[in-house]
Amino acid sequence: MYQSLVKPFLFKKDAEEAHHQICNLMKNGLKVPFVKPILRAQYQFDHPKLEREVFGIKFPNPVGMAAGFDKDAKMITELDCLGFGFVEIGTLTPKPQEGNPKPRLFRLPKDKGLINRMGFNNGGVDDAIDRLKKKGNVIVGGNIGKNKVTPNENAIDDYLYSFDKLYDHVDYFVVNVSSPNTPNLRDLQDKEPLTKLLVTLQERRKNYEVRKPILLKIAPDLTNGQLDDIVQIVSEIKLDGLIATNTTISREGLVSTEKEISEIGMGGLSGAPLRARSTEVIRYLADRLQGQVPIIGVGGIHTPEDALEKLQAGASLIQVYSGFIYEGPKFIKKINQYLAEKL
């Protein structure tokens, strides 16, 4: 029904408007008695082969929702009902910000891709806390970034603020310095500022009784030399994990016309066009890290086979976003059923 009725209806609407409408529909639907157990019965799939322990956390299955879908921690219960093994919220910033001007989210149906230049639109980290207190047993990652108005020389203060606010309410952290939609943010991926940022967060973590994993999300556009720097940093400071990859600024190999792409303009590309490069980066990192640092693989997963490819390349867990939009709510169950059979 999703492919024949729901998706065609949603794809006639502005992409961001459609996102909010479907989220509101899900939230209102769960208020109806008995809907929650019905959804769980229809969409969840449990199997011992899917369970895994990564970063010291026990995941019921390896398929998570990537950051960006649930920026403000409003959809945790709903996504859990659809069978996700974990949910990553954010990117959250210290102060609320509207993000970039609309329209800022675009579909490339011919390519099964999305282009976004959202710009870390969110209600601010403080606004998310009350909702996170009600997350129950769902494994939630907190993806944190800096406000657009914060200069890079003060970026650490932004990350520390959100880190402290979220510490008691999320299960792991993701440091986002790889979004292409906040000016100069990717400069923080350079070796010196990145090392300083990560070490500072690790030092701050010592203030807390419970040790929570800190992960770094990287861009797919890094050169091998830059990836080698990442490998050196995470090895030296013993970072808990990596997420590979964020969206790409590349437009190579798209079926969509140059006119269509130029009319959309700037933004990060996700979805099927990112699959090969994301897997390449995962494989490169896994080979050099020799399994010492777990990797969450994300980028272009649109089939169960794509999910397996990421795991075979060296990922311990995977995340989806664009594939969920294009393939529908049964997508997670299909992946988990396939992985239980193949793993």
Q: Which residues are catalytic?
A: 179
Contact 206, 215 (CB under 8 A): no
Cα–Cα distance for residue pair 268/117, rounded to 1 Å: 6
Contact 335, 304 (CB under 8 A): yes
Element (H, E) at 28: helix 15-30
Look up tokens 């929650």; give the residue. Answer: 36
Helix 15-30, helix 35-43: angle, nearest 10: 120
Contact 172, 212 (CB under 8 A): yes
β-strand partners of 244: 218, 297
Contact 327, 302 (CB under 8 A): yes
In single-letter form, the type of residue at position 51 comes to E
C-beta atoms surrounding 257 within 10 Å: 10
Cα–Cα distance for residue pair 5/37, rounded to 1 Å: 24
For Cα atoms 161, 162, 166, give the angle at the middle one, nearest 5 degrees.
125
C-beta atoms surrounding 239 within 10 Å: 21
For Cα atoms 247, 89, 115, give the angle at the middle one, nearest 5 degrees.
25
Paired tokens of 76: 């945790």
